[in-house]
Structure 1
Amino acid sequence: MTERDGGGGNRIGSTETTFEIVHALQENGPSRLSEIAAELGLTESTTHRHLNTLCDLRYVSRDGELYQIGLRFVRLGRAARTRDAAYGMAKRYVRELAEETEERSQFVVEDHGIGIYLHVENGTKAVKAGFGVGRQIHLHSSSAGKSILAHYPRDRVDAIFDRWGLPALTENTITDRQQVYEELERVRDRGVAFNREEHVDGINGVSVPVKRDGSVLGALTVAGPSHRLNDERLEDELPDRLLAAANELELNVTYSSPDSSNDHMVE
């Protein structure tokens, strides 16, 4: 069994191992030491040391032989979601979109070239597709990701594709880089991005960017079954509602910034 505590280059191997253990617990739920070690290819002694440290720091809890994510992460998650006041403002619009469309609505931001779901709300007819807060997605295959990438400079888009690739998630996913560039150009021209079963089979989505000072902050999205989000609703009805929500959110973000006067706050 290979120990991985040494690390190489500018990376610290022991830190990397610690987070691999945390992610394994996140994905698998309560697990035994032997199960964690086997999944990650670690010796049980190494795994035990990391788990003991995490338990001492209260980032992992233990119940008998089972280890699980500690509740101390709740505070960290809240801090991440509220590190930018604008992120919190988006929650209201996500909720309103879900209520009005009766579908799933979300606010997605980019972090390290990956899309992160910061807010998710399900309308009364929403398909529970398992995309909750904190979900990470590839940007090229989602309408939210396209909305964000379309407003990035080409070198930044290239860097993201170089790092994460263009994996095919369904048979409709665009995996040719030139075709993705062409799709992003269309998104820039119309101000709206579409996902036609490119991320999940049977699910369509529509998204618009949310900007601050000319830069993309994130994207508002509505997604639902392809038989309900058909061409007419997907391309005509929903984009107008999303654009109106994004415009109002942008105004609130702009006029509630520290550099703006409260006299101009949009209520």
Structure 2
Amino acid sequence: MTETKLPGDQFVQSLARGLAVIRAFDADHISMTLSEVSKRTGLTRATARRFLHTLVDLGYVRTDGRVFELTALVLQLGYSYLAGQSLPQLVQPLLEELSEELHESTSASILDGDDIVYIARIHTRRIMTVGITVGTRFPAYATSMGRVLLAGLPADQLDEYLARAELKPLTPRTISDPGRLRTELDKVRGQGWALVDQELENGLRSVAVPILQPDGTVVAALNMSMQASLADGTDLDQAVFEALPKLQAVSAKITDALRAQH
């Protein structure tokens, strides 16, 4: 059993609750009523109402009196972090070149807790039912980028992840057994890349490679996604064979750029 870490005496519960309200909004919950926010956060209606109206007064949330939505001001919370990072700026132009060459959508992400978070994205065609932008999150276990990021974790951190993660079968193909996932991550670590075939969403296939720091540690991941119907027109192994060297070449360029900064 994983030990629950209790907040220390420096923990500000009201701040944590306010952030929980902001995080309750996502691609599937763009607009919510007070009751829906209360249910998703576990807060009472009265508490949720206070936080929502505080966020309205601060400009982070808008309301028509019945439903609530985030405003563009919340982007400042994320961009203040991204602005201090060199990685998105390094990745973006290389993704543009890669996407133009492959004629497919390409992305880069980092691991944040049990999720991947997109830090760069070049969109060529709509594949998923959910739109993907910078800041979009997906569960790491069911994504190609998540698997190369998980495979790059130190052994103790991977053990902790497998002990706590809730592995839901998102599609009939999803690996949702911790033992099978560990075996797959061992394979990914050994070969240096990951292929996920319709495990996050039916019809979506993607291949990913790690982005390495100069010291060899995994700092991010890079992927190319394609529709399963498109890959069916060609042999899947052939599609991966053609994309993989290009992904690896871009990853190497990013590592070289990171090395030049040190």
CA distance in structure 2 between the aligned counterparts of 1:204 and 1:37, rounded to whole angstroms = 35
1:103-182 to 2 correspondence within 5 Å?
103-123=104-124, 125-130=125-130, 131-182=132-183
What CA distance in whole angstroms lies between the structure 2 residues aligned with 1:205 and 1:51? 38
Percent of pairs with identical residues: 25
Seen in structure 2, the aligned counterparts of structure 1 residues 226 and 35 have a Cα distance that, compared at 3 Å, is closer
Three-state SS of the structure 2 residue aligned to 1:217 is strand
Match status 1:195 vs 2:200: no
Structure 1 position 9, deviation (Å):
4.6
CA positional deviation for 1:211: 0.4
- TM norm structure 2: 0.83
Contact 2:210 2:218 in 1 (8 A): yes
Alpha-carbon distance in 1 for matches of 2:112, 2:39: 30
Query: Helix, strand or coil for the counterpart of 1:228?
Result: helix
Q: CA RMSD for the aligned pairs?
A: 2.4
Task: State the partner residue of 1:245.
Answer: 250
Which consecutive residues of structure 2, in runs of 5 or more, have no partner in the other structure?
1-5
**Residues 40 and 111 (structure 1 numbering): CA distance in 2 closer, same or farther, change over 3 Å?**
closer
> CA distance change for structure 1 residues 176 and 30 in 2, over 3 Å: closer, same or farther?
closer
The equivalent position to 1:220 in structure 2, one of 222, 225, 237, is 222
Match of 2:210 in 1: 209
Q: Is the 8 A contact 2:128 2:201 kept in 1?
A: no
Rounded to whole Å, the distance in 1 between the matches of 2:39 and 2:63 is: 18
Contact in 2 for aligned 1:196/1:204 (Cα 8 Å): yes
Go from structure 1 to structure 2 and tell me whether the alpha carbon gap of 1:184 and 1:32 turns closer, same or farther (over 3 Å shift).
closer
Deviation at 1:157, TM superposition (A): 0.9
TM-score normalized by structure 1? 0.82
Residue in structure 2 matched with residue 95 of structure 1 by the alignment: 96
Q: CA 1:140–1:66 in structure 2 vs 1: closer, same or farther (change >3 Å)? A: closer
Amino acid at match of 2:193: V
Q: Residues 114-162 of structure 1, C-alpha deviation per residue, up to 9 Å, x if partnerless? A: 2111112112x45254233212122221111111122222211111222
Amino acid at match of 1:84: Q
Task: Report Cα offsets for 1:173-205 as digits up to 9, x if no partner.
Answer: 112222222222222222111101111111111
Q: Is the 8 A contact 1:118 1:133 kept in 2?
A: yes
Give the match for residue 3 of structure 2: none
Equivalent position amino acid for 1:90 in 2 = V
Listed one character per residue, the Cα deviations across residues 233-256 of structure 1 (whole Å, up to 9, x for unaligned) are: 33310101101111111111211x
The separation in 2 between residues aligned to 1:233 and 1:129, in whole angstroms, is: 26
Helix, strand or coil at the partner of 2:78: helix
Alpha-carbon separation, structure 1, partners of 2:49 and 2:227? 45
Please give the alpha-carbon distance, in whole angstroms, between the structure 2 residues aligned to 1:189 and 1:42. Answer: 44
| Unpaired segments ≥5 residues, structure 1 | 1-7, 260-267
How many Å separate the matches in 2 of 1:53 and 1:45? 12
2:236 counterpart of 1:231: yes
Measured after TM superposition, the shift of residue 208 of structure 1 is 0.4
CA–CA distance in structure 2, aligned partners of residues 34 and 147 of structure 1: 38
Native 8 Å contact 1:103 1:127 kept in 2: no
Distance 1:166 1:15, change over 3 A: same
CA contact (8 A) 2:128 2:204 kept: no
SS in 2 for 1:227: helix
Pair 176,62 (structure 1): closer, same or farther in 2 beyond 3 Å: closer
Report the counterpart of residue 263 of structure 1 in structure 2: none
- Closer, same or farther in 2 for the Cα pair 1:38/1:142, shift >3 Å? closer
| Range moving further from structure 2, 231-240 or 201-210 | 231-240
CA separation in 2, counterparts of 1:185 and 1:32? 44
* Structure 2: distance between partners of 1:141 and 1:253: 28
What count of residue pairs does the alignment treat as equivalent? 249
Q: Deviations over 1:28-58 (max 9, x none)?
A: 3344545544665655433332223223333
